[in-house]
Every structure is written in C-alpha cells, then in structure tokens.
Structure 1
Amino acid sequence: MSNILIIKHGSLGDIAQACGAIQDISEYHKDDEVHLLTTKPYFDLFKKNPHISNVILDKRLPKYNLIYLYSLMKNIKKYKFIKVYDLQNSSRTAFYKKILFPKTTKDIWSSTETTLPEGVIKKNFDKDSVLSRFDHQLKSSGINTSHTLNPDFSWSLSDISQIKNFYQLEKYIVLFPFCSPHLTSKKWPYYNDLISLINKKLGNKLKVVIAPGPDEIKEAPNINALCILDKNKALDICQLATLIKDSSFVVANDTGPAHMTAHLGSKGIALFGSHTTPFKVSIERENFKAIQVADLHNLSAEKVFERLKSL
C-alpha cells in the first residue's frame, strides 16, 4: 500500500467543485492511502469525506517563515508519497513542487502545469471551465473521471433538526446576499426587494431565511429575512450544507454557498455580474442555473423573481 497526496487549500466554492475529482482519485487508488493537504477552515470538513484516509493541515504561513516551511515539508516527506495531485494549482503549490519534487513530471506531480496539453499555453488553458480542467488533469494520469464533471457534496451533510425545530423551518427559501468586502462587484443590491416580492406573491407560504458567515452576522439585520444561527454563532459548513439541501430554493451571489447548492443538487439561481462567467466556474447544473448581466445594479428583483418562479 502506497501513500497518495491531494492538495486542495480552498476556497469554499472550490472545495465543493473538487469533490468529484477527489472521489475519482480515491477510486483509482483504492488500494492506497489517500491523504489531503488543506487549510484550517476545511480541515474538519475533509475529515468527514469518505474518500480520504487522512487530512494534513497547512497553515499557509508566509513563505519566508522558513521554520514553518521546513516543518511542513518534513511532515509531507515522511509519508513518501508516490503521487501528488495538485488540485489547487496555485503559485504556492507550484512552490511546494519545486521543494519536494523539483525535476519531476506528471508521473509524480499532477497539476495544470505538468499536464498542459501539447501546444497550449497555460493562460489559454485556464480560460476553460474549472471542471473541464480537472477532467483533463486526471485523465492525463490515466484516471477514469466518472465523477469529476458531476461533483457530489452530499457527504458534508449533518443533522440540523434542532436548529430547524428552533426556527420552525419547514418550507423555506435561502438567500445568500453577502460577499467578501474586496469582491463587491459580486454583490446584487436588491435582496430586500426580492423578499418583498416573495412574501407578496407567494402568500407567505415559504419562509425567507439567510445564514450569514461569522464576518457577516453584523450585516444580517440589513436583510429583511429570518437569520439562522446556531446558538448565536454562524452555522458551520456541514450545517450550512444541510440547510441548503433541505431548502425549497436558493438565491445567491457568486460565492461559496452558491457552489455548494449546485453540487448538492438543490434548486437555485446564482447572480453574476461581469467578474466571470457561469461557464468558467462550472456552476450550472440540472437544478441550479445562473443569471448573468453586465452590471448587477441593472438586474431587477422582478426579473430574478420570475426566474425563481419558473424554476
């Protein structure tokens, strides 16, 4: 039995997207131990993943922190990994490759860079969709990609019956109106208008709820919806996944919860401005669709409601 390493640091949406690739790698290496290197926000989450044997923490301290870097590399080297699948494909993981396997090819280190199609430059390859790039990367290692293009995030679900009972949740719509402060171009400004339309035209048959992250709780009172917390704290990722899975519908900005919804098979809509495209981030699924406009300020609540109602 040999040791295999997968690297996936984040973010939340990227974690959901990578589930299929991780499953395919695990099934290909069914007689090996599959380890995963990730960051603190996803360390406990990945411990639940049935396709991973062990989770290794990367604190991602600055590269000039030589003591930490030496400790991390020493920890990785002790496993004597025979194959590394870099699903992060970042400058940081490329730096790790230079330290761990400086002269190796795709036979040992599988990444976008080492599996780049012949005659294609990385800048052009990166224009393809996320899942298509994963698919090519794994096929270059001889892996049958049965799940890569159809990730399943349902392994992350947990029991939230107490939370649902506390808030008397039966049929409900979840909204995700928040986004990172430095990504305001992703933020649709008319969630309260949409809430008014839902309450007016659906006869209050559905509760409208939000589930803010730890840094979004202070902003939550600005949204006219029921705020779902767990003892005054933000839901963890597994609780959030279950809240989404049990919902009737989700409306979200292009953020992590939108990608979770897509890969949980739940119904919903993601709202896109010009920052990227639904194709590139592989977010549209059978039940989950996207609306894209040049400027989110020009997307009316009425248009979003009509799309919600049609789905």
Structure 2
Amino acid sequence: MSRSANPGEKARRVLVIKLSALGDFVLALGAMRAIRAAHPKASITLLTTPPYEGLAKATGFFQKIETDGRPEGLKATRALLKRIREQKYDIVYDLQTSGRTANYFKALNMPMRKPPLWSGHAAGAAFEHKGPERERMHSIDRFGAQLEIAGLGPETTGGQWPPMPDMSFVRRALGDSPSLLPEYFSIYGPYALIIPGASSHRSAKRWPPERYAALASRIAEAGVTPVLIGSKAEAEIGQTICQAEPRTKNLVNRTSLFQIVTLADQALFAVGNDTGPMHMAALSRCPGVALFATSESDPSKAAPRGAQMIICQAPTLDELSVRDVWQAVQMLGAIPGRDKVAQT
C-alpha cells in the first residue's frame, strides 16, 4: 500500500484517463462515478478518445472532456504532456492502464519535477496497483481494487463496492426523446436484440452469421421480433442474417450508443458475442445470452454484468450449435408463451 494520502474532498483538479474500447469504457463508468463522489468539490477532467465524448458528457461526472488521449506523433504527445503538467492535477486516475498511459506517467515523473499523485499500474505510481492477481480479475473488480489502493471505498463514495456501472444516466440526460423509442425504428410489440459483431481484428469471437440467422428464425417463430444492432463493420453480417431470415429488423449502423441503451432497456433479452454492446445491454438491465470462445477470452474476466446473463462457451464458437444457444435463451424465461415453443 502507498504511504501517500488521497486528497479526497480537498482535491481541486482531478484527471481520469480512459481511452477505449467501448466495452472497457462502459465497464469503467462505475469507477468514474466513485471518483466523482470521492472528490465532490473538484473540477474533474476526462482524457479519452472521440467515440466516447458523448457518453462521457451525458454522465455528468466531468467538467471537461479532452479527446486527444491518443496523440499521433511526438509533437502532439509533447503538447498533451505539457498540458497535463500545466493543469497541476492533485491526482490522476489511470483507468486505461496500458503501455501508453504508463509512458505518460514516466514522462510526467522526470527528475526535478513534482508529478501529480497517480493511481494505476505504472511502476512507481503513488497508488500502484500491481500483482499477478490483477490480470485475473474481471474489469469491474479490477477497477474497484485499483481505487481501494488509492484510498477510495464505499465509505468515501457512499455506494456499493466494487462500484457497478449502470446506464440510467442516458434517460436522465436525454429525457423522452422520440428517437429513443422502439417505435422510432418501426419496432412494435416484443423484440429481442441480436448483437453479432465483435472487434474487427478478432473474428474468432464472432458466432457464424448463418447460426444467428437460424436463431433469429426461432425467435421470430416465438412471436418476438429479432432486432440486429452493430456498427458499420457488421454491415455484411447483418445483410447475411436478414437475407436468410427476412423477419429480422436490421438496425446495423443505424443506432447511436444512446439508442443501444434505450433499445436494450425495453428488449425482452439480448444474444451476442463478447463485445461492447453486450455489456451495454446487461448494464441496461436487459437479460441475455453471451457467447464466448474460451480460446479468445475468459468469461470469468469479461462476462457482462448487471442483469441475468447466461454464458454459452466453447473453445471455439463453431462448437456452439443453434440448439445450444436457443436452449439458453429459453432458460432466461423471457419469451412470452415459451412453454408452447418447440424445445428443439
């Protein structure tokens, strides 16, 4: 444990660093809320990247959001570090804990300089979170352990521990905008979300599109509209699924991050791969079935939390059949009249 003292309510300037990716960002929202609670009088700045600026603003946790957290080139990096030094932050919470942010710490910790207190994994940080157990933790637990070393906990933040994210801030920030309703997308009646994407460089984390199409058919036969969501990168996958099962509603590349949240909080359930929108759905209290290739990721460290979630896992996703996933969907108990639905 560090001998440094967290400034707590005395802090005037605080920096939080969280650059990406989508799932990691939303899983850090609980930690961000805890930091806000621990420093109620501080001006808190978030250093991030452009895709997460809107979400960050909607939380209300930050007075300032900077989106150049991944500068390109030496000149831009020096400008970023100069700005951080000039702000004279009382404490920096590095929630990214990457090689990049460790280098930021080293650059700010040059001899003859007085760096801010630093919470993160960088060697020599005032609140250094290290040890082999760190790499075995679920992200939410890891954030909680990191903040504990920095002196935060339920007694300083007034909430559960580890701090759980939730997406309720979206409704508070955006209100009853018509664009947040299922009807905005011509969705009427019960529906389920299908989330067939994953990182573009991790294709092994994607269940085959033809199996999603077969699953969509079973969902549609049960009287529930299958609704596809995803980014532009999943456009071809979405077309493949919809061509095989035309009753599917294709919203791939048509939803904002906010709309994903509000669609999820009214959906009967979600089925998807190990990807950011599945975390958003679970944190919106949408039950679901998450598909994991254990050769690619460990559910104990990456499973969605926040709602009832059944994990379907196999060494590779090719080994998961449509029947496996459909049985898991039925176990959720979310399908109306499910007792009348075929069990095959």
Fold shared by both chains (TM-score > 0.5): yes
CA-to-partner distance for each residue in 1:161-203, whole Å, 9 max, x for gaps?
4662441333110101122332011111110111122223x1x
The 5 A counterparts of 1:1-311 are: 2-58=12-68, 60-62=70-72, 65-102=73-110, 108-113=117-122, 114=125, 115-116=127-128, 121=131, 123-145=132-154, 146-147=159-160, 148-157=162-171, 158=174, 159=177, 160-161=179-180, 164-189=183-208, 190-200=211-221, 202=222, 205-224=223-242, 225-228=248-251, 234-274=254-294, 275-311=296-332
Deviations 1:212-232 (A, max 9, x none): 212222432111321126xxx
Distance 1:51 1:245, change over 3 A: same
Contact 1:278 1:284 in 2 (8 A): no
Cα offset for 1:35?
1.1
Query: How far 1:78 moved relative to its partner?
Result: 2.9
Cα 1:71/1:259, change in 2 over 3 Å? same
SS of residue paired to 1:223:
helix
SS at match of 1:27: helix
Cα-to-partner distance string for 1:77-103 (whole Å, 9 max, x where unaligned): 332111000000000000111122347
Give SS of 1:216's match: helix
2:36 maps to amino acid: S
Larger radius of gyration: 2
Letter in 2 for 1:142: G
Structure 1 unaligned spans of 5+ = none
What displacement does 1:277 show?
1.6
Asked if structure 2 preserves the Cα contact closer than 8 Å seen for 1:261 and 1:288, the reply is: no
Q: Which amino acid aligns with 1:20?
A: G
SS of 2:279's equivalent? helix
Q: How much does 1:307 deviate?
A: 1.2
8 Å CA contact 1:34–1:53 kept in 2: the answer is yes
Count of residues in correspondence between the two structures: 300
Quote the Cα distance in structure 2 between the aligned partners of 1:98 and 1:74: 13
What is the aligned-residue RMSD (CA, Å)? 2.3
Deviates more, 1:66-75 or 1:158-167: 158-167
Counterpart residue identity of residue 274, structure 2: D
Distance 1:106 1:193 in 2: 56
**C-alpha displacement of 1:23:** 0.5
Aligned residue identity for 1:155: F
Contact 1:262/1:285, CA 8 A, preserved across alignment: yes
Q: Kindly state the Cα deviation for residue 20 of structure 1 after the two structures are TM-superposed.
A: 0.6
Inter-CA distance 139–167: structure 2 relative to 1 (3 Å threshold): same
> Would you say the 8 A contact 2:283–2:305 is kept in 1?
no
The Cα shift of 1:105 comes to 11
- Match of 1:78, SS? helix
Higher relative contact order (CA 8 A, sep 6+): 1
